A and B are shown apart, each in its own frame.
Chain A
Amino acid sequence: MESTAIALENDQDIVVARGEVRTLAAAIGFRSLDQTRLATVASELARNIVKYASRGQMIAQPTRSPHGREGLRLIFEDDGPGIANVEAAMTDGFSTSKGMGKGLPGSRRLVDEFTIDSAPGRGTRITVVRWL
């Protein structure tokens, strides 16, 4: 399967992103709980981009491990302001917008792999993988 890119700029794009992720996850063979986990991660990370970086994109890639295990990789990237203190941002309850501070740490709990690369002025790139 090919990878899909979705531009993220507004509320509606967040809905499209999570719907697309659910569809892809179902096609790969993820059961309903994992579809819901992945759709929720997409919703949280896509919203962070729209909210903090104004725009960016999600790339969804069906993937296969060296051992032949199937999975879904999602990449969320933007050229926004970046995150000054990534460790703090990954902590439950940390928010610069009076949010609940659950988006980043909660998303990490919903996937098998979570990588964040961000620095002030360089934007943010988050890659997650969930294996079947």
Chain B
Amino acid sequence: MSGAQRIPILKVGRVLVVPIQTDMDDQTVVHLQERILSELERTRARGVLIDISLLEMVDSFIGRMLSDIASMARIMDARTVVVGIQPAVAITLVELGLELSGVSTVLNVDEGIKLLRDEFDIEEREDDELFWGELNLLGEHGHRA
């Protein structure tokens, strides 16, 4: 079973946007991590924005994936932002003893994009408005869906 196929990776400007909308089994988590890294390499995106606002639980396995993505992305000169962590999830992570090391967390997608642009200096493009409105859906092997 490779459920990761169901999780889209969108390219918005120079940022990969990953909306996680479903509880993932461990294999799906590993698979998703691999896909994000290969898309980073292929597209030379400068930022990764992972939306976990629909995730009702982040355990040590998913927490570790988020940290690993951030540190590997860093090596490829890209920054990682995790968006929309639910308060209950954030509290539970602290009690569990996990820090999402190297991961910036923000409340919503707008803030995430702002952080990537301003703090991390991911430059805007001239056709920016148009570009942000145009989502390129990257399929399993990076082909446009």
Using a CB–CB cutoff of 8 Å, the interface residues on chain A facing chain B are: 11-12, 14-15, 18-19, 22, 32-33, 35-37, 39-40, 43-44, 47, 92, 99-100, 102-103, 105-107, 109-110
Contacts and interface: CB of A to CB of B under 8 A. Distances in A.
Contacts, number: 72
B25 A37 contact: no
B23 A33 contact: no
Nearest to A43: B59
Given A36-B88, A39-B56, A40-B59, A47 B97 contact: no
Contacts of B24: 15
23 contacts: A11-B28, A14-B25, A33-B88, A33-B92, A35-B56, A36-B56, A36-B88, A37-B92, A39-B56, A39-B57, A40-B58, A40-B59, A40-B92, A40-B96, A43-B61, A47-B59, A102-B98, A106-B60, A106-B97, A106-B98, A107-B96, A109-B95, A110-B95
Interface string B43-87: 000000000000011111100100000000000000000000011
A105 B97 CA distance: 9
A110 B63 CA distance: 16
A128 B52 CA distance: 28
A47 B98 contact: no
B26 interface: yes
Contacts of A109: 95-97
Interface residues of B, number: 24
Contacts of A36: 56-57, 86, 88-89, 91-92
B27 interface: yes
Contact of B26 (A37, A47, A99, A106): A47
A110 B97 contact: no
B96 A102 contact: yes
A107 B97 CA distance: 10
B27 A103 contact: no
B130 interface: no
A103 B64 CA distance: 12
Contacts of B58: 40
B1 interface: yes
A100 B64 contact: yes
Contacts of A32: 88
Contacts of B91: 33, 36
